[in-house]
Chain A
C-alpha cells in the first residue's frame, strides 16, 4: 500500500474530477425561450461553444428557436453568418421577428467547403454567431468547430438530421426538435449538467409578435416586444 492521502489534498490539487462540481456559469446568451433557459446549465446558450440542433424535417420551428437570439445579436457590433442554409431566409419574415438583416451575412458554400467556411468564420472572432447546415459532418470536423468557436468567442449552431442523434458529438449542447404530436424540444446533451429527462414544450405562437399584432389569426395573442 502506498501512503495515505488526505481526500481534501486531492481535491485541492484538482486531481480528482467531481461529477457535479463545475458550477454553471451564468451566461450572457439567453435563448429567448424562458422554459429552455430554465433547464440549461448556463441559463442560455453555452457561451463560445457549439450547439447542435437535430431535426426530423425542415420547417418545424428550427429558425424560430434561434430568431430571438439572432434578433438580439443583430443589434450588436458583430454580425451573424449563415453558411449554406437550405433555403433563402425570407427578409420580411425575419424582420417581423426583429432581426436586422443588414447584420446577417449569407455565405454560399458547396458541400466540401461548408465546414471550412464555418471554421474560418468562427475562428475569425468577427462574428457573433455562425449558423451552418453541413450535409456531412463527422466527429472530427465538429470538434474543429467547437475549438474554433472557443477561439473566436462566438456561438456556433449546426443543423443536422435527426438520424445523427445516435452518434456521439463533441457539441456542448445538443437539442432535438420534434414536431409531432406537438412541438417539443428535447435536450439530449448539455455540458455542465445533466440533460433533463422531460421534453420542453415549444410553443411557436408565443414568439411571433408581429403575427399577434397584425396576423390573420382568429384569437388575438398578447403583443410581444416587437
Chain B
C-alpha cells in the first residue's frame, strides 16, 4: 500500500480566490459576532500586516480597503469533495481527512506511471484549478498527512524509511491529539521518534487508549479505518457573484471556471456530460435557465465552455444576475472519438464534433443536421432529418434540389421528359395522384414539376435539376 496525501492548507481561501481576477486585499473571518477574527488572509492582505487570528477590528484599522468574507465551513467541505472527485481519476480509493485528501496509489502505478510522474500530474491539476497544496506519499494515509505537513514533496516507499522519517517530526506537527501534544514536551519529549520508543503501557495509563490508537494508525499497525469517498452522480454547483451582473460578458469568466471544473470532475470519474443547465439566479428567487445540449457526451473543457457560452450569449437578461448555478444530473460514460492513424486532415484540425458544437452553440440546437432518404415514394416524405440512411435507391430520376412545399410554376414550359405517374399514399390520409415531368423554364432552368394526371396545366414546382 502506498498512500498519497494532498494537503490543502488554504482550502477555504483558495476556494474564494480562484473566482477573483484581481488581487485586492481580502480576508475570511470566523468567530462570534462580537469577536470576529481573521481566519485566512490573501497575500496582499498579509503584505499589509494582517495575520491569522487577528481581531477583525484591528485588521480593519490597518487596512481600510479590505474585503471581508465570512468563513463558510460548508463551502470548504464542498471544495474538498470536489477535489476528491478530481483525485478520483488517479485512484479508486480516495478518502477525506481534515484539510487533506488521501488516495491509495500503489495499484494505479502500472496505469499512471511511477510516483514522480503521478505527483507531477497531481500538482499540475491542483495548480490549474487554483488550489495551493502540499503533497507527500507514505505507506499509511496518516503518515502521508503528517509528512506532507512537514516536508512538501517527500515520498517514503517502505515502512522502515517511513519510521525514520517520522522519528524526526517535531511533536507540534505530528497531528496527535491536542492534550498529548501539550503535555508531552513537558516530559521532555519533543519529537515523534522519542514518543514512538516509549513503553506502551505507560502511555496508555497517562493518555488513554486514544493516543496509542493514533500511533498504531500512523505506523500502520492498525487499519486506518477511513471511509472511502464516492463521487456523486450529479453535479450541482453554484457561484455567488461578487456583485450584480447586468451583462452577459461579465459571466464569461465565472462560466469558464465552472466548465473547467466540470471537465476536471468528469475526467475524474471517466465520464462525460451531454446535457446540463446553467441557472442564472436573480433577486427574489427568480432564475433564467439556459439548457446546454450536445450531440454526444463531451468532457473537454473548451468544448463545454464554447457550448455553454454560445447559448448564454443568445440570452436576454431580464434582471441582474446574483449567482450562477450549474446543474447536471445525467453523467453518461464518455467514449473518445476514434482517430485514423493516417488521418488526412491538417495537424491542427479542430475535430468535426467540436466544429458542430460550435456551430450549434451560435446558430441553434437544430442548425446542424443530415438528410437521410426514406422508402416512402411521396416526395414530401422521401427524406427526413436523421443519422441513419435507408439502403434503397429510387430507380426513377429525382432532382437535386427539393422544395419543402410545392409552389405554382408559371411561364412557358418545355417538357423534357415524363410523365411519371405517382399514385400512392392510400394507406394514410395523404394520398397523392400526380404526373411528374422534367420541364425547362424560359430561363433555361430544369424543373421537376407535377400536374393533375393527364392535364399538363396548373404546374406545381417541386424541385430543380440543379
Contact = CB atoms under 8 A, between A and B. Distances in A.
Contacts of A91: 371-373, 382-383, 402
A62 interface: yes
Interface in B352-375: 352, 354-356, 358-359, 362-364, 366-373
Interface string A99-141: 0011011111110010011001101111100000000000000
B358 A120 contact: yes
Interface in A73-105: 76-79, 85-97, 101-102, 104-105
B443 A88 contact: no
Q: How large is the interface on A (under 10, 10 to 19, 20 to 34, 35 or more residues)?
A: 35 or more
A102 B387 contact: yes
Contact of A106 (B350, B369, B404): B369
Contact of A64 (B348, B398, B400, B417): B400
Interface residues of B, number: 56
Contacts of A179: 443-445
Given A58-B401, A63-B466, A105 B370 contact: yes
B210 interface: no
A69 interface: no
Nearest to B436: A216
Given A117-B359, A215-B397, A104 B349 contact: no
Contacts of A208: 397
A126 B352 contact: yes
B398 to A, nearest CB: 4
A96 B398 contact: yes
A10 B417 CA distance: 63
Given A64-B465, A126-B355, A96 B397 contact: yes
Contacts of A79: 352
Contacts of B367: 107-109
Given A60-B466, A89-B402, A120-B359, 20 more contacts: A60-B446, A77-B345, A78-B352, A87-B401, A88-B403, A92-B383, A92-B398, A97-B400, A101-B370, A105-B356, A107-B359, A109-B359, A120-B355, A124-B350, A151-B346, A152-B349, A178-B444, A204-B446, A208-B397, A211-B397
22 contacts: A57-B445, A58-B401, A58-B445, A58-B464, A61-B465, A63-B401, A67-B400, A78-B344, A78-B345, A86-B401, A87-B401, A90-B383, A92-B383, A93-B401, A95-B373, A96-B393, A96-B394, A107-B359, A121-B355, A126-B351, A214-B396, A215-B397
Interface of A: 56-64, 67, 76-79, 85-97, 101-102, 104-110, 113, 116-117, 120-121, 123-127, 151-153, 178-180, 183, 204, 208, 210-211, 214-217
